[in-house]
């Protein structure tokens, strides 16, 4: 049996360690997992009760068109239902986009370093990968625009960027879009949109109205606290969405997930609360970095990438033994840094105390 050659050169996604595994391995009762940017406050109680009710209907196939959820999303974002595509997480939409658009004859442009799934899925389709280094942790949009040519089919913009947490403002994004040919799709991945506090963050829904070649990605996995449900969505041009629907598997989003996501969307107070608590707790990490003279990337997300002045990998191991899971920067391309998801007040206090100990020893 022979796989496509290029697949054999790729590796399996390295997910953060599951809590249960760490508990067993180190004999711990409590583990604080701040490695995968999950919402530490869980999800809306309304989502849970909607899910509970739906458990009676597990024998049924889901609505292939996710009509109810789409209807809610359409009014929430003031777009047409025909402009929405739902995915098994936005990960699946990235895969769908690559499968539908890319092949060996074209190239795909993205930042280096950004969310790894853009590169991974572009490579599987055989496209040439053009990675443009970040500038001080920010997308270098001028260089990215210059990397685009007549064979570029997709440009990936992660805003705010994972793993740096940095963002692109409206003015810069508009200047960039003006330089991109209409034949090239610009995917703007806003997985952390609900966490953004910056006032000059792009109003991307209006960009979708203005530019036919802009496609937005959003997800229920981060601020909505539904990572397990696997629901993401794209907002874009109706014709493109219709074409992507041809490629999509008919029942890609489960019935339970559709119901839970729809109920979660109705509870915007939960999102507001999550947003506020996250910003309050983020400040504590900023203060910690400033007090210890550690460089960090100002974040518009629920995670912070900061310097630890020692191997992030070794610090990760030490913290792991004490029941705290973070992401070592080495795994993300930032040696001597760690990426920490902003947790709950009590957990952050524990983590910051441990960090203090290791940074100053
Ligand atoms: C977490 C994340 C995603 C994937 O989210 P799912 O909807 O869970 O697949 C996509 N993009 C970025 C930048 C992310 O951080």
Residue 213 pLDDT = 98
**By C-alpha distance, which of 301, 294, 280, 298 is closest to 355?**
294
Cβ–ligand 1 distance for 252 under 6 Å, the answer: no
Distance of CA 205 to the CA centre of its chain: 18
Whether 307 and 295 have beta carbons less than 8 Å apart is answered as yes
Whether 244 and 237 have beta carbons less than 8 Å apart is answered as no
Percent of the residues in the chain that have a pLDDT greater than 90, as a whole number: 93
Percent of the residues in the chain that have a pLDDT greater than 70, as a whole number: 100
Question: For residue 114, which atom of ligand 1 is closest to its CA?
Answer: 13
**By C-alpha distance, which of 80, 60, 151, 137 is closest to 339?**
137
Cβ–ligand 1 distance for 301 under 6 Å, the answer: no
**By C-alpha distance, which of 198, 183, 118 is closest to 149?**
183
Q: Count CB atoms within 10 A of the CB of residue 299.
A: 27
Instruction: Check whether 332 has a pLDDT greater than 80.
Output: yes
Q: Cα–Cα distance between 8 and 2 in angstroms, integer? A: 9
Distance in Å, CA 92 to ligand 1 centroid: 10
Cβ–ligand 1 distance for 232 under 6 Å, the answer: yes
- Tell me what the mean pLDDT of segment 184-207 comes to: 98
Residue 283 pLDDT = 98
Instruction: Check whether 361 has a pLDDT greater than 90.
Output: no
Instruction: Check whether 231 has a pLDDT greater than 90.
Output: yes
Express each pLDDT in 291-318 by its tens digit. 999 999 999 999 999 999 999 999 999 9
Distance in Å, CA 88 to ligand 1 centroid: 11
Residue 9 pLDDT = 85
Question: For residue 220, which atom of ligand 1 is closest to its CA?
Answer: 7
The residue whose CA is least distant from atom 1 of ligand 1 is: 191
Residue 13 pLDDT = 86
Question: For residue 231, which atom of ligand 1 is closest to its CA?
Answer: 7
Distance in Å, CA 292 to ligand 1 centroid: 31
Cβ–ligand 1 distance for 162 under 6 Å, the answer: yes
- Tell me what the mean pLDDT of segment 92-99 comes to: 98
Cβ–ligand 1 distance for 113 under 6 Å, the answer: no
- Tell me what the mean pLDDT of segment 36-60 comes to: 97
The residue whose CA is least distant from atom 6 of ligand 1 is: 89
Q: Cα–Cα distance between 217 and 233 in angstroms, integer? A: 6
Instruction: Check whether 11 has a pLDDT greater than 90.
Output: no
Cβ–ligand 1 distance for 115 under 6 Å, the answer: yes
Residue 1 pLDDT = 82
Pairing of strands 232-235, 303-307: unpaired
Instruction: Check whether 17 has a pLDDT greater than 80.
Output: no
Q: Which residue has the tokens 């009676």?
A: 56
- Tell me what the mean pLDDT of segment 220-231 comes to: 98
Distance in Å, CA 191 to ligand 1 centroid: 6
Question: For residue 227, which atom of ligand 1 is closest to its CA?
Answer: 8
- Tell me what the mean pLDDT of segment 37-64 comes to: 97
CA 177, 182, 183 angle in degrees (round to 5)? 130
Average pLDDT, the chain: 97
- Tell me what the mean pLDDT of segment 124-145 comes to: 98
Q: Which residue has the tokens 């397990």?
A: 228
Express each pLDDT in 51-90 by its tens digit. 999 999 999 999 999 999 999 999 999 999 999 999 999 9
Q: Cα–Cα distance between 361 and 357 in angstroms, integer? A: 6
Query: How far lies 169's CA from each of 30, 147, 176, 298, in Å?
Result: 40, 20, 11, 14
Cβ–ligand 1 distance for 225 under 6 Å, the answer: no
Residue 289 pLDDT = 98
Residue 147 pLDDT = 98
Residue 18 pLDDT = 85
Query: How far lies 35's CA from each of 160, 201, 286, in Å?
Result: 17, 25, 18
């Amino acid at each position: 049996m022979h796989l496509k050659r290029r697949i054999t050169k790729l590796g399996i996604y390295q997910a953060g360690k599951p809590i249960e595994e760490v508990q067993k391995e180190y004999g711990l009762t409590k583990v604080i997992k701040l490695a995968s940017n999950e919402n530490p406050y869980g999800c809306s109680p309304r989502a849970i009760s909607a899910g509970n009710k739906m458990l009676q209907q597990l024998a049924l196939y889901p609505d292939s068109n996710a009509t109810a959820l789409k209807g809610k999303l359409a009014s929430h974002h003031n777009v047409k239902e025909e402009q929405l595509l739902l995915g098994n997480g936005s990960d699946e939409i990235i895969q769908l986009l690559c499968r539908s658009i890319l092949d060996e004859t074209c190239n795909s442009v993205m930042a280096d370093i950004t969310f790894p799934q853009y590169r991974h899925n572009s490579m599987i389709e055989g496209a040439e990968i053009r990675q443009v280094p970040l500038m001080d942790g920010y997308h270098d949009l001028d260089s990215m625009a210059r990397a685009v040519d007549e064979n570029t089919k997709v440009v990936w913009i992660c805003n705010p960027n994972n793993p740096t947490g940095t963002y692109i403002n409206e003015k810069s994004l508009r200047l960039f879009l003006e330089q991109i040919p209409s034949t090239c799709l610009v995917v703007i991945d806003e997985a952390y949109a609900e966490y953004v506090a910056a006032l000059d963050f792009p109003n991307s829904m209006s960009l979708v109205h203005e530019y036919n070649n802009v496609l937005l990605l959003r997800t229920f996995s981060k601020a909505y606290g539904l990572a397990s449900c696997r629901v993401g969505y794209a907002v874009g041009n109706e014709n493109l969405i219709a074409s992507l629907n041809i490629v999509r598997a008919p029942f890609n989003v489960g019935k339970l997930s559709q119901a839970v996501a729809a109920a979660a969307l109705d509870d915007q107070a939960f999102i507001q609360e999550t947003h506020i608590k996250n910003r309050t707790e983020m400040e504590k990490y900023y203060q910690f970095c400033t007090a210890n003279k550690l460089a960090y990337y100002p974040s518009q997300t629920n995670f912070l990438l900061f310097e630890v002045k020692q191997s992030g990998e070794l610090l990760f191991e030490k913290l792991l033994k004490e029941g705290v899971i973070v992401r070592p920067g080495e795994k993300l391309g930032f040696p001597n840094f760690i990426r920490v998801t902003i947790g709950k007040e009590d957990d952050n206090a524990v983590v910051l105390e441990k960090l203090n100990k290791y940074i100053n020893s």
